[in-house]
Structure 1
Amino acid sequence: MNPPGDAPVHMVVDPAWQWGFGLLHFGVAALTVVLAARGPIRQRDWRELTFRMVVLFSGALGAVVFEGAVDRAGKLWYAEQGAWPLVTLWGVHVPLWVAPVYLWFIGGGALVIIQKIRNGGRPRDFLYIFGGIAVADLLLEIPIIKIAGLYTYYGDNQPFFHPEWFPLPLWFITTNRLLDLVPAMLILVLMSARSKHVMWAIPVVMFGSMYVSYAFVTWPTIAALHSGASALVAHLAATYTIVIGLLATYFGAQLAPRMKELMKHHEKPRAAPDVTASPLPVRA
């Protein structure tokens, strides 16, 4: 597929920034894996360890099967010349360093939500998590766009966006939180099945939920971006995307605590206390 006519196809990667951000995100991804694996390894809970690793690396594979599609739909373009290649999808050349971002941002974010649900989180706990995801999104994307120039958003009718003052469209920020929430909830629903092999369906659920959550809120914005709609129409469409995204986040936070018991039958039983280790006191 040929690149879109208004995409900045002549962008060139700065090698120093690519190495800097690439090593940073591979490091964060490695730290995420270590932190997720530490508890199950200490407890010798190999099923829990496998579950967590499947969630994280299913998130990473989203860089291959999802990123190019969402970029083409939302008009994001990666610098192609000099980039570390990963995959080309829908005419978008996705670089290699996107895979660790997907591991820690989407796989890790979904795992944090899953663990909070399993541990009995309250609705406000999830709202705090979603707020943290929004802040992480800003801290992640704006430096890469403004300082490194490794990718950019484009389009004459891109809503809630300015290439200099606000280079990350607002509708992306509210949408990206669903890319953690929806996979987390659907994975929990999947794991409610009692089959011991059910976790191997997690990659399919992860990929599918990425597309579902993105399309659920962004369809009018994408239609406006690709139909030549006026700036007014594009902003109205993006307003719908933002409002529905925020409402979905809020109601998701209310629903999440009710899903606490869905994975109970997959958890390793705790060892019964050893009564022989604490004998009854002997009377004098």
Structure 2
Amino acid sequence: MKTIFRYILFLALYSCCNTVSAYTSFIVGNNAGVDNYRGPSTAAQMTFNYTSTASNLVFYKPTQLGPTGVKMYWSYLDTGTGGGILYCNTSGRANPGPITIENAMVYSGKDYGGHKLFNTSVPGLYYTMLISRVWSAYDTITDIQSPGIYIGDPSNQEFFFSVTDSDLQTKGCNKADDYDKFWAIGGIVHNITVEFYTDTNFDPTLNQQVQLSSSSNYLYSFKAYSPGTKVVDHSNHIYVNEPPRESWRLNFLRKR
């Protein structure tokens, strides 16, 4: 009877330990290199660019708060171009926690269509920012559903990565089997849509420069806060900022 009990206890402990060690956690940070199992040592920061042919923004004089019909799109933004990398870890301490989206955008105190409107450098001109189609190399996917996440709407915005490529899991992540070993997957690839809104305070000068207002040196960021004990010690930020202010200028029409 004791033998049977010990065997059952062994199976329970074995199952428990293997369940824990089978977890894959994700962190982000600077580019520490490939195939060396080093994790990030600091944060990374990138700036997304826009084509010069679409740098002039045309708006009409508004009569009330509402959308302008002007949207700007960035497709396949890759944080890897600025040295921002996603890493995986499968140590016994790994916890498959989420990636948190944080922002330094300046809330205007106004809402439209259920979404918060954020300030630009031009009074009366506001914007929303939608992030969508988030993924990484080797078909590493997220649980973000269409149409995406409006950055800054709720106070806590999170999503989860999942490995779908068996080679990445077995030949990469599974070999990052200690809390200070990490496999570099690639940058966080995503789309951004900025939509502009105006109200009656909007009265810019011709060719006025526009900037998306921020309380820091970035607009939004990614970070893992719960990838596992000791694993979290290597977790850093990826910060993303807009182009320089001179990239966008306003053309203002008083009548539609």
Q: TM-score, normalised by structure 2?
A: 0.26
Larger RCO, structures 1/2 (Cα 8 Å, 6+ apart)? 2
Q: Which one has the bigger helix percentage?
A: 1
Q: TM-score, normalised by structure 1?
A: 0.25
Q: Which one has the bigger strand percentage?
A: 2
